[in-house]
Structure 1
């Protein structure tokens, strides 16, 4: 029953991501046609500051709430008031010190935007306890509905504002409308009403666990968010905007599958801590299933990057096709890690994540700087592909040791799905290079690539992963 419930929650979580993907697939191209690369780069740089400080603001306190077997009102209220106090303080500090922060990013013209973003700290951190209560109850259906509604309203607001000539304010409206409705919705569906309780002992207990996760999140932040800073400082805001736009498109498969899956796997793995063998089995199968879902999407983007950029964003963005292609490959290489991170977090290996993440952050940062220095934006993306390949094998070695799984099993779970996805993508790329297809419109080439890739990948999966696919179709527990 526990496994079936996990699968149900995975379906709910991923379904919400698919709905959000659909909204973005409609709204992002509209915004891209009306906004300039520098405007996209400015918003991306401003959100780096917000995301970075939010990571420390919550101190991982809500993760401690999720791991607790029994809900405790005093713990919930303690974390809520602690989060609210920190969020308010950060909002004031960012507003006051917006100029030096913008200078540090290499985007002094974005200082006013940081002041506009300051209230987002309260809107983002405020409902964290409500969200953790839903996760602890495995009520991902309710959180999914909240996410879809808030994202839909935010996307609608952005499109309306940009069509009215609002420019960069369209992106600001999208962030605020989504944040406000998420704030209200989570409190409503969780039925959490903050009480006047505060316990230093409860706060200390949650901080002891949460601080270790924050350390891991910090080094992961350096890996995932530092490209914007590197590009802004070395190449300028227009290139940062180009990276931001292509990163959004290449990240959509992760937003559909990975974020939904990881949010469910963390509490699910936490509930299996007394059965290590079962935990390892679930890890093995979820790794394979995740890679089978993600890798073909991401490698497929590499195969159809040129027509995809033209169809989705318009002719003026065609120059960014190589950036999109290599960004997608870098993410595809990391697709098996979707189950690794929640597994290590749930099994109490936050310190391992921290040290591992620190090495990864340093490697990625050095590679990005060198790639950007020699080959610009495309060089940065290629450097990320090379480093991510080494990171994947390092992650695999760590997880296999912790889970007690054989190397042969790990290779089977990771490499086989990656190889068949890569073979499919290469076949599609070669097919699209045919002179006959080159004479067709970008939309026709994109559709042809998707069709060819779907057929080839379906055949390869049935030849190599038939049992797993049949289990998923029959809704057997992964």
Structure 2
């Protein structure tokens, strides 16, 4: 790759990405509860079901071709232009197809009344795929700061527009406006900062040459998408749009910490691991360090949200959503279980293990779909979420086996090191939940319960981390002290 990747560049780009996600986190922390108070669960559910279809087809349409550009040694413009036109052609065909077949698709998903939304949102497919090549060029050049800026602008504009329109009484159309405005601004921004100008050049041979990598990536991404989105489809079909709306609202909020940390880190780690493909020692050190750090940061957020789900749901979403607090807690718990997996997918992609990633993603999609369907068909939304948590425990062990085997790290050693922060977070969350159950009545206001619980949880978790993660803290301290130009130019260890 043309860009030298070292400790300084990786840290800087992760910082930009985290800053971008943190800014949008702040807006969503405010806007999602506001929208949930104004809109009905059915409106949330209808948009969520339609968006699931669009996102699924957008993932297929990309076919992983843009990802294949990232790992190419040189920026061959003829290949880049060919990928752009291939993506555009595929996305337009899919948009036409989903527009024509919107009614049977919506009926199949148990939301026939959302057919008009499926038609309208089909336009999002070319809008989303149109910027893939521009983003791939920024990723190749490790210019995530430019992407971060436009991500902040697009997400902020969309969120603010949604709130204004919802307050003005536009209802479900406020959510539609949010999606379109964000997509258009991001598309324009990506082309502006990448300075990519499509030319009328097309080489079918070069596009086909990228498919060996891109098809395995497409398969694994589709399988991961099914894992994440199949619960929405199942809930809509078996339990109705109201439960789908409750799941959507809880899932959107519980996903915010993931969006802040994981999406920021994963985008940078993919090209970083790719550059270390021939250096096993350096790659292994980077894997363990990045996994520990992301788990230390993310696990307490997710397990803490599980502990405080009841007052948090009431405080943020209002009384009409209070019944869904177990859903919010269980979703946070299911995501918390997977925090050590945060770096596994970019690692397998970066070291060229697309086939392994594909088959394990397929297996995960199958067991996730089956488990959630079993819980929803035979019980309720809460039971479906309990099954989701159980499946994610199995997924954690399975991905750990695959990654540590590929890395040459002994499984038991690697698993214990990476999961130790998650265990600390679970102990903290259990203590906070116990205190809330016993003494919560002494603090009748939900917001005070959340604030006090967060402070107590932070103190407990901080004490446990100081006692159990001293080697990691020393390593981070040493990295922070390396300020000299020579140190910053050295490869990440």
Count of aligned residue pairs for this structure pair: 478
**Which of 445, 451, 454 is 2:449 aligned to?**
445
Hey, what does 1:406 align to over in structure 2?
A: 410
How far off its partner does 1:67 sit?
0.4
Hey, what does 2:117 align to over in structure 1?
A: 113
Hey, what does 1:202 align to over in structure 2?
A: 206
> Does structure 2 conserve the Cα–Cα contact (< 8 Å) formed by 1:305 and 1:321?
yes
How far off its partner does 1:47 sit?
0.6
Hey, what does 2:486 align to over in structure 1?
A: none
How far off its partner does 1:285 sit?
1.1
Residue 372 (structure 2) pairs with residue 371 (structure 1): no
Hey, what does 1:345 align to over in structure 2?
A: 349
TM-score by length of 2: 0.95
| Secondary structure in 2 matching 1:336 | helix
What is the CA deviation profile of residues 177-224 of structure 1, one whole-angstrom value per residue up to 9, with x for unaligned ones? 000100100000111111111111210111221011111112112211
| Secondary structure in 2 matching 1:368 | helix
1:187-198 equivalent positions in 2, closer than 5 A: 187-198=191-202
Hey, what does 1:179 align to over in structure 2?
A: 183
C-alpha distance in structure 1 between counterparts of 2:164 and 2:439, whole Å: 41
**Which of 386, 402, 413 is 1:382 aligned to?**
386
1:49-448 equivalent positions in 2, closer than 5 A: 49-435=53-439, 437-448=441-452
How far off its partner does 1:440 sit?
2.5
**Which of 45, 49, 66 is 1:45 aligned to?**
49
How far off its partner does 1:69 sit?
2.2
Flag structure 1 segments of 5+ consecutive residues without an equivalent.
none
How far off its partner does 1:463 sit?
0.8
Residue 439 (structure 2) pairs with residue 469 (structure 1): no
User: Relative to 1, partners in 2 of residues 1:116 and 1:436: Cα closer, same or farther, differing over 3 Å?
Assistant: closer
Hey, what does 2:28 align to over in structure 1?
A: 24
> Does structure 1 conserve the Cα–Cα contact (< 8 Å) formed by 2:135 and 2:194?
yes
C-alpha distance in structure 2 between counterparts of 1:384 and 1:47, whole Å: 21
TM-score by length of 1: 0.98
How far off its partner does 1:83 sit?
0.8
Q: Which is worse superposed, 337-346 or 410-419?
A: 410-419
How far off its partner does 1:273 sit?
0.8
C-alpha distance in structure 2 between counterparts of 1:114 and 1:11, whole Å: 36
**Which of 442, 456, 462 is 2:460 aligned to?**
456
What is the CA deviation profile of residues 332-374 of structure 1, one whole-angstrom value per residue up to 9, with x for unaligned ones? 0011111111111111111111111121111111111121123
> Does structure 2 conserve the Cα–Cα contact (< 8 Å) formed by 1:155 and 1:174?
yes
How far off its partner does 1:437 sit?
4.8
C-alpha distance in structure 2 between counterparts of 1:268 and 1:296, whole Å: 26
**Which of 2, 8, 12 is 2:6 aligned to?**
2
Q: Which is worse superposed, 370-379 or 391-400?
A: 370-379
How far off its partner does 1:316 sit?
1.6
| Secondary structure in 1 matching 2:380 | helix
Q: Which is worse superposed, 386-395 or 461-470?
A: 461-470
What is the CA deviation profile of residues 58-91 of structure 1, one whole-angstrom value per residue up to 9, with x for unaligned ones? 1100011000122111111001111111111111
> Does structure 1 conserve the Cα–Cα contact (< 8 Å) formed by 2:55 and 2:125?
no
| Secondary structure in 2 matching 1:273 | coil
> Does structure 2 conserve the Cα–Cα contact (< 8 Å) formed by 1:270 and 1:347?
yes
What is the CA deviation profile of residues 277-321 of structure 1, one whole-angstrom value per residue up to 9, with x for unaligned ones? 211111011111111111110000000001111111112211111
How far off its partner does 1:471 sit?
3.4
C-alpha distance in structure 1 between counterparts of 2:75 and 2:327, whole Å: 46
> Does structure 2 conserve the Cα–Cα contact (< 8 Å) formed by 1:102 and 1:108?
yes
C-alpha distance in structure 2 between counterparts of 1:451 and 1:357, whole Å: 37
Q: Which is worse superposed, 167-176 or 205-214?
A: 205-214
